[in-house]
Structure 1
Amino acid sequence: MSMTKTGAAGAAKGAERILDRKPLLVGVLALTGFVAFLRFYEQLFGWSAGLDSFSPEYQIYWLNLLKAAIALAFAGAGGLFGYLWRTRDRKLAALSPTDEMRRLLYLIQWLVIFALALFWGLSFFTEQTAVWHMTAVRDTDFTPSNIVTFYASYPLFAIIGAGAFLYAKTRLPLFANGYSLAFLVLVVGLFMTIPNVGFNEWGHTSWSMDEGFAGPLHWGFVFFGWMSLGVFGVVLLILGRLRALLGPELVAAFAGR
């Protein structure tokens, strides 16, 4: 059964009322601003104060950044997870279809921000680290590039991903009643890139690997990075639930049939 043009237009307006784009806009702007700050900081102090780990300038500009990044990661994770848990929905059984749809759309926006954070962490800053090691002789595991990559950008996407998982677990019946394997692979797998940093640095200390980035010791980053493909399973679950909430007529209307 097809809907009239008036009915389709009404459905589209209803979807506009449910969809709130502000969280996505704020999240993308905040993430972009944070990444821009890190890159600008590297540009200012990477070569001028980051080549000699025994210099006073290195202690000021880079070791202090390392300490701040670790402290902010723990504080950010504790604050976000604590907030999501304290404000969890304790009456999910009474959740209306409209509110559930709105929360599913929020989760999709959260995953978009997560994907952007993964790009900056696992692609941009990680490749930058490889270039740094092939062009600069390092005398410490905590090079400027490593500090930004492993202790700022990696914890950032891990926290965002875990936050998305906890949001879904505490606010959506689709995820609250069990554990999505795809979501677990996505979040836990990508988090494991952080413990892999320790293994990576041990290898760099024991062997000369700065020009051998295809070596087996770096395969862990690739293996866990590919866990990001779990997002397709999560999105399929969300789309299936949206389809059930909308019903066949509205789905056909939005598809233009």
Structure 2
Amino acid sequence: MPIAKTDSAGAAQRAARVVDTKPVVFGTIALMLVVALLRLYEQLFGWSAGLDSFSPEFQLYWTNLLEAAVFLSVATPMALVGYLWRTRDRKLEKLSTALELRRLLYLVQWLVIFSLALFWGLSFFSEQTAVWHMTAVRDTDFTPSNIVTFYISYPLFAALGLGAFFYAKTRLPFFAKGYSLAFLILVVGVFMTIPNVGFNEWGHTSWSMDEGFAGPLHWGFVFFGWMSLAVFGVTLQILARMRALLGSEVIEELRRR
């Protein structure tokens, strides 16, 4: 139900009070801390313990990290989705306008953090992996760079995307009524970069591809990675719902402010 247009200034003030930026601030800080710790760990133990996969040092610093990462990459999204589903709003038809607006803004902030995680995973760490392969001779598919990139940074953004999808599905009437095509493309598309890792590593094992990163086996990362552009479609759906809730007069008042 749109906010009454007879008091647009007061409605604009009420709309401003639903904004809570703490989640995006704390989420960004936490994400950057994780990225910094991963990069520091690589700096400390990448070259010193990561060149010989048969050495005890590799087993200590990298194999153990890989096993922990695989476990967490499965357990974390399951726990997150389970929590969101168990605590879902079962009375969405009675959701107030102010609370729906607040939740829409929480979803936007979730997508911001998700987008940052995509950058670090698909850009920074992926390009780092390419550089590693061109500078170090590897004797295993589970190099230090691959472990951080494919088994930590990729599952991290996949879990965040899945969480954003289920947050919208369980707490917002617009997304609970059906399935947003843009949201499905966004979440499923970028998740598919993870299965593509197996295809990619099979190619590296079968052929010498460490210096041919424009090869067809790497096209999957580009194809699925570009599906992240569907975030703009989700954003347009959010903005359209916010406009319907606020009304045109309130939108103009907020614009003037």
> Which TM-score applies when normalising by structure 1?
0.95
Query: Which stretch of structure 1 is more off in the superposition, 89-98 or 191-200?
Result: 89-98
Corresponding residue of 2:116 = 116
Name the structure 2 match of 1:178: 178
**Any idea what the Cα deviations from partners look like across 1:201-253, whole Å, max 9, x if unmatched?**
00000000000000111000000000001001100000000000010110111
Give 1:256's aligned residue. Answer: 256
Contact 2:183–2:231 under 8 Å retained in 1: yes
Amino acid at match of 1:181: L
SS at match of 1:141: coil
Match of 2:242 in 1: 242
- 1-side partners of 2:88 and 2:105: how far apart? 17
CA-CA distance at 1:79 after TM superposition: 1.5
Match of 2:34 in 1: 34
User: What is the aligned partner in structure 2 of residue 82 from structure 1?
Assistant: 82
1:45 Cα deviation after fit: 0.1
* Matched residue SS, 1:98: helix
SS at match of 1:209: coil
Question: Relative to structure 1, is the Cα distance of residues 154 and 229 closer, same or farther in structure 2, using a 3 angstrom cutoff?
Answer: same
CA RMSD of aligned residues (A): 1.5
CA distance in 1, matches of 2:166, 2:59: 37
Displacement of 1:15: 2.8
Letter in 1 for 2:35: V
Counterpart of 1:97, as a letter, is T
Counterpart of 2:246, as a letter, is: L
Match of 1:51 in 2: 51
**Which whole-Å deviations, capped at 9, do the CAs of 1:44-74 have from their partners, x for residues lacking one?**
0000000000100000000000011111222
Question: What residue number does 1:130 align with?
Answer: 130
* d(CA) in 2 for partners of 1:232, 1:103: 18
- Asked whether the equivalents of residues 92 and 172 of structure 2 are also in contact (C-alpha less than 8 Å), the reply is yes
Structure 1 residue 12 displacement after superposition: 4.6
Once superposed, which parts of structure 1, at least 4 consecutive aligned residues long, lie more than 3 Å away? 10-13
User: Map of 1:1-257 to 2, 5 A cutoff?
Assistant: 8=9, 10-256=10-256
CA distance in 2, matches of 1:250, 1:32: 36
**TM-score, normalised by the number of residues in structure 2:** 0.95
Provide the secondary structure at the position in 1 that maps to 2:247: helix
Q: Which has the higher contact order (CA 8 A, sep 6+)?
A: 2
Assess if the C-alpha contact under 8 Å between 2:170 and 2:176 holds in 1: yes
User: Please, which runs of 5 or more residues in structure 1 have no aligned partner?
Assistant: none
CA distance in 2, matches of 1:22, 1:75: 26
Q: Structure 1 counterpart of 2:204, which letter?
A: H
On the 8 A contact 2:104/2:238 being kept in 1, the answer is yes
Q: Matched residue pairs, number?
A: 253
SS across alignment from 1:213: coil
Q: C-alpha separation between the residues in 2 aligned to 1:187 and 1:7?
A: 37
**Residues 12 and 250, structure 2, Cα contact 8 Å, conserved in 1:** no
AA partner of residue 195 (structure 2): P
Structure 2 distance, partners of 1:183, 1:92, is: 20
